[in-house]
Structure 1
């Protein structure tokens, strides 16, 4: 085994939480179960009104790697993530939403792949569960690598799958909760010339919610339009790529829809 394989850098896992009492214990336990043990988990409760904070407190008392913080006022997911990034001690940053889960080898396989290809940004494929934790058929497959131009056409990087070097956030932050703030951050990072590498395994377990809201497609277009405007694309190009994103995402998720025929419509809790 060579020296680079022996390196076990600290990973700072960032988990914003708001009214997640039904899911947060499973999310935290999926971090505790990681085969890669060199991590810290920064949980920031954004003024939840349910039992989220109490559940996180109970679990954090049993493992010193869990660091629990409570915001003094509700500041939203973007600023909560930024706050956690500022507090992170790790060389790497990973994100896990409080309703998602990781497979046990997720961090281990990402670090190994980063070492193999010399990556600063690694993401993974996904499987899916519903709000009760029942699995959906089908998985989200990811490409071997993605650059800025490819990512403009479709966001294939689920936030809860990302592992990225902390130095990438020296000048980049997540902004504005009225758009896909994580997608905008990935675009800014890749625009700097960094390549994102995919591990094409469903190491993220992503929670989907069922919705019949007819305006969801239009909402998604609007949020993606704001993403492209935030990275200084002109209005015409922003409209174009927002539309391209929607078409490509629908094609991708049709595979899931066809394998789950009883589901009339799926809406991602944090759409790709």
Structure 2
């Protein structure tokens, strides 16, 4: 059931998959608690962590009724964890935040206002990069004003931690079980005729974690190639064309240029 808190703004359901996130989950939760927009619920799905993530999350739940924890009995990856959370969500809006990333305090307020003013179904924002310790890397990923299917397929510019979706307009929200699952969903929605609108304000911080599977560039490239071939069902010529565009933007990012995209990297699934 979708509902709105009476005499207040619409409820935002925050979707957070967590796997062995004990080093970062405190900061992530506290960045949500610090939001200037109070009408949210945070649904954390723990993907069978082996560390003390669950204990840490329970400590916050004791004093924060807006946080809900769903522990999974088997590890199933980020797509499954996010879909479990989406199915439990009660909000009119869905927002995504991985368990090692951070939001600036006005993220929800600014984006809800942006969505409402334009009656938007799909929005995203600019964001910045930080290293594993949370230090800024002086790199910002700038959101284009609009993104359609043809744009996104060659430039994975939409950061998962910045996306907000309106469930009243998008009736079916489910991440495909294929990596990168976030980009797979954005492509699916854009192929259905939706358009993504960019709020050109840095409202989130994406953490670059050393030695994570998502940082393996060859694996990330292979996953994107596979997505183009299997989900998008492109022929070899079109796959080569769009993959080369993807690689070009990723290369510029890794050279330290101020990018308009970074490779799509789901960090939670194992």
Q: Structure 2-normalised TM-score?
A: 0.87
Structure 1: runs of 5 or more not aligned: 1-5, 259-265
2:31 is matched with which residue? 30
The number of aligned residues is 257
Q: Is the 8 Å Cα contact of residues 18 and 46 (structure 1) preserved in structure 2?
A: yes
Structure 2: runs of 5 or more not aligned: 1-6
* In 1, Cα distance between equivalents of 2:233 and 2:263: 28
Does structure 1 residue 78 correspond to structure 2 residue 73? no
- How far is the alpha carbon of 1:76 from its aligned partner? 1.0
- How far is the alpha carbon of 1:201 from its aligned partner? 1.5
Q: Is the 8 Å Cα contact of residues 172 and 188 (structure 1) preserved in structure 2?
A: no
2:47 is matched with which residue? 46
Superposed counterparts of 1:63-102, under 5 Å: 63-102=64-103
Q: 1:267 to 1:188 in 2, by over 3 A?
A: closer
- How far is the alpha carbon of 1:8 from its aligned partner? 1.1
Q: Give the 3-state SS of the residue equivalent to 1:97 in structure 2.
A: coil
Q: Is the 8 Å Cα contact of residues 207 and 269 (structure 1) preserved in structure 2?
A: no
* In 2, Cα distance between equivalents of 1:237 and 1:172: 27
* In 2, Cα distance between equivalents of 1:181 and 1:245: 16
2:204 is matched with which residue? 204
Q: 1:267 to 1:231 in 2, by over 3 A?
A: closer
Per-residue CA deviation, residues 106-137 of structure 1 (Å, 9 max, x unaligned), is 01111111122221111111112111111111
- Write 1 or 2 for the structure with the bigger share of helix: 1
Shifted more, 219-228 versus 143-152: the winner is 219-228
Shifted more, 216-225 versus 90-99: the winner is 216-225
Q: 1:150 to 1:268 in 2, by over 3 A?
A: closer
Superposed counterparts of 1:142-157, under 5 Å: 142-157=143-158
- How far is the alpha carbon of 1:142 from its aligned partner? 1.2
Per-residue CA deviation, residues 15-53 of structure 1 (Å, 9 max, x unaligned), is 000000000010011111111111100011111010100
* In 2, Cα distance between equivalents of 1:248 and 1:267: 8
* In 2, Cα distance between equivalents of 1:39 and 1:234: 43
- How far is the alpha carbon of 1:70 from its aligned partner? 0.5
